[in-house]
Structure 1
Amino acid sequence: MTPTATELEPRWAEHGAAWRDPAEVVSGWEGIGSVDPDLLKSRADRAFWELLDRLELTLIVTREYEHLVVALSVEEGKPVQSHLRLPHPSGLAVDHERGIVHVAATRNPNQIFDLEPVCGALPRADMPYPGELTGRPLLPARSRFLPGALYIHDLALVGGKLHANSVGQNAVVELLEHGGHRLAWWPGSVEREGKPDIGRNYLQLNSIAAGPDLEGSFFSASQAAPSQRRPGHKNWPVDGRGVIFSGATREPVASGLTRPHSARLHEGAVWVDNSGYGELCRLEGEQFTTVAQLPGWTRGLAFAEGIAFVASSRVIPRFRQYAPGLDVDRSVCGLHAVDLASGQIVGSVRWPYGNQIFAVEALPRDFTLGFPFRSARPAPDRTRRLFYAFDFQGEQR
């Protein structure tokens, strides 16, 4: 017997009300609109905000296990924290020439979100945008899907093309503009008869210190060669086994790290977060010099005018063995400004209820002030109107 329209109307009403929140549509995640307000609580030194204001910066931070991308900036002398919810965001890369912020989302399947700053609003009579559009908020312009087996971590622009660590394949891949990917680089230790062994994760090859090309780049990994024990095994040995690979030779140029992340080239030197000891390190020859000690698992690194912005994370209890150099119970989730000349922390922001930070990028404040969401509540009417008529190309109207 076919149900009547009257009997079906409640169901139809439910269907019609679904997916109305822009936050849900952007992330592909129904019910995500409301954020646990504790996750957005922060404590910051005045010096931290004064530094951001003086340098005219906006910092973008991915907090992967909380499914948050957070932006920190200063608007007319007042601190601004905004956010966008994405599924397990990890790597970040900024294409300054094209005006795109790339964000990796490492669930199955993997995704790459391309975020762009909104420059204006379409002229609408049915839902006009109220008032002036300020801050050039970042919104998704495109999303690409990739196999979950890639297990993407870091992102980097190498030779003007977007690359990613395919941790699940022990390799670096080029992410193609039309979608898909191609193997671009791998360590010599995983090569078998001229081809890389991409069948499973052996090395935890997880970051890219991007040079002008792949040969001039460097890559961090938690071990140099495959062994019987692999990432994910409880008894996987990590202390002092981390390495930095040379893009040119595909061999380690330095070793002795513990779960390294966020390798970066800055002013001709390789820098890296020695995560398991909470350190920021600089490579000098074949040895690492500890520049700063941070209060947690170091991961996430960006530079601006003599300052390193270094993130620290809490340590998930089941992964305590990966952090032999940390007081796990006293680790904090936060972002710290380190003076490169002295190694001193000159300002910090901490999220008391935070968990894991993956990446940090520093952008000019006139590029963007951050994201359209500035509170834990669902999108207000003003934000809905922004999503209804945003314009990436035009001028403000």
Structure 2
Amino acid sequence: NLFMPQTAYVTGAVAIHDLFLLEKDICFVNTLFSCVARVSNRHSFVPLWQPPFITRLMPEDRCHLNGIALQNGRLRYAVALGTTNHAAGWRENKASGGCVIDVPTGEIVYQGLSMPHSPRLYENKLWLLNSGHGELGVLDQDRWQPVTELPGFLRGLAMQGGYAFVGLSKAREKATFGDTPITDKKLQCGVQVIRASTGAVEAWLEFQTGIEEIYDVQFIPNCRHAFVLGFQKDDINRVFNFAEQTPSHGL
């Protein structure tokens, strides 16, 4: 399967994280401006929601909002690396400043995580990554329950068929990943497949050269081999996708 771009939206460098559809709108976590937004034909983005502790949308990455969990096509939970309301404030407590926010109410339902990412609702449970500890786990009745610990900074989670597909990064940049529990551990970059019921590693893929960070993991149904054609290589100028010609009865 070849996936190639047909339409592009210019948002500027807003540190886009989780990307998803709300009805037919392309939406994303706008980390730089601490909000959830949708794309627009007229604006860089249209804000949809922001944490209640963010008083003004500024390009300051105030809390490093980065993940959204959807439920029935609506925003349900969000994760951020802090509850701070000033520029890059989340950096002050990377080890335990992370939180989970109930989007409809704005309530902070859990605090004390280390750089959490990728919240996902699966089988009526909220799964997420406690990335600074290298943990995959479940937030159950306001209690964090680790399922397994993996050798990487975790970012990117897809749940399918009783398995969790988790992205691991080496996290070598001390300015971002320093002062977290995994800093001094030997880390890997790749994807691991975890049995959700037991936490056992069922399969893994490790990148030993060329790639050091994974930003997201997605499950593509009915596809064994996928290739994504981007804008940065000349190949995009030589690949064409056009509709079949319809019969004409005189032009």
RMSD: 2.6
Give the match for residue 219 of structure 2. 362
- The change in CA–CA distance for 1:322 and 1:221 in structure 2 (over 3 A counts) is farther
Matched, 1:279 2:135: yes
SS of the counterpart of 2:89?
coil
Give the match for residue 203 of structure 1. 63
Deviation at 1:265, TM superposition (A): 1.5
| Counterparts of 1:178 and 1:228, CA distance in 2 | 27
Q: Any conservation in 2 of the 1:311–1:336 contact (CA below 8 Å)?
A: yes
Q: Any conservation in 2 of the 1:336–1:345 contact (CA below 8 Å)?
A: yes
| Counterparts of 1:346 and 1:201, CA distance in 2 | 37
Matched, 1:141 2:1: no
Give the match for residue 53 of structure 1. none
Deviation at 1:255, TM superposition (A): 1.4
SS of the counterpart of 2:214?
coil
Give the match for residue 240 of structure 2. 390
Give the TM-score normalised by structure 1. 0.55
Q: 1:167 aligns with which of 24, 31, 40?
A: 31
- The change in CA–CA distance for 1:326 and 1:394 in structure 2 (over 3 A counts) is farther
Q: Any conservation in 1 of the 2:64–2:88 contact (CA below 8 Å)?
A: no
Q: 1:318 aligns with which of 149, 170, 174?
A: 174
Q: Any conservation in 2 of the 1:187–1:250 contact (CA below 8 Å)?
A: yes
Give the match for residue 296 of structure 1. 152
Q: Any conservation in 2 of the 1:174–1:181 contact (CA below 8 Å)?
A: yes
Letter in 1 for 2:84: A
Give the match for residue 23 of structure 1. none
- The change in CA–CA distance for 1:151 and 1:321 in structure 2 (over 3 A counts) is closer
SS of the counterpart of 2:212?
coil
| Counterparts of 2:86 and 2:66, CA distance in 1 | 17
**Greater helix content:** 1
Q: Greater RCO between the two (CA within 8 Å, min separation 6)?
A: 1
Q: Any conservation in 2 of the 1:315–1:328 contact (CA below 8 Å)?
A: no
- The change in CA–CA distance for 1:177 and 1:306 in structure 2 (over 3 A counts) is farther
Q: Any conservation in 2 of the 1:261–1:274 contact (CA below 8 Å)?
A: yes
| Counterparts of 1:318 and 1:362, CA distance in 2 | 30
Give the match for residue 40 of structure 2. 176
Deviation at 1:244, TM superposition (A): 0.7
Size of the aligned set, in residue pairs, is: 241
Unaligned 5+ residue runs, structure 1? 1-135
Unaligned 5+ residue runs, structure 2? 246-251
Q: Any conservation in 2 of the 1:240–1:257 contact (CA below 8 Å)?
A: yes
Deviation at 1:267, TM superposition (A): 1.9
| Counterparts of 1:393 and 1:288, CA distance in 2 | 51
Deviation at 1:390, TM superposition (A): 2.7
Deviation at 1:317, TM superposition (A): 4.0
Highest Rg: 1 or 2? 1
Give the match for residue 248 of structure 2. none
Give the match for residue 157 of structure 1. 21
- The change in CA–CA distance for 1:391 and 1:159 in structure 2 (over 3 A counts) is closer
Give the TM-score normalised by structure 2. 0.85
Letter in 2 for 1:345: V
SS of the counterpart of 1:276?
helix
SS of the counterpart of 2:219?
strand
* 1:100-139 paired onto structure 2 within 5 Å: 136-139=1-4
- The change in CA–CA distance for 1:327 and 1:152 in structure 2 (over 3 A counts) is closer
Matched, 1:218 2:70: no
| Counterparts of 1:298 and 1:217, CA distance in 2 | 21
| Counterparts of 1:139 and 1:279, CA distance in 2 | 34
Deviation at 1:331, TM superposition (A): 0.3
Identity %: 23
* 1:5-24 paired onto structure 2 within 5 Å: none
Letter in 2 for 1:188: P
| Counterparts of 2:184 and 2:242, CA distance in 1 | 44
Letter in 1 for 2:165: F
Deviation at 1:269, TM superposition (A): 1.8
| Counterparts of 1:158 and 1:268, CA distance in 2 | 20
Deviation at 1:160, TM superposition (A): 3.9
- The change in CA–CA distance for 1:226 and 1:305 in structure 2 (over 3 A counts) is same
- The change in CA–CA distance for 1:394 and 1:257 in structure 2 (over 3 A counts) is farther
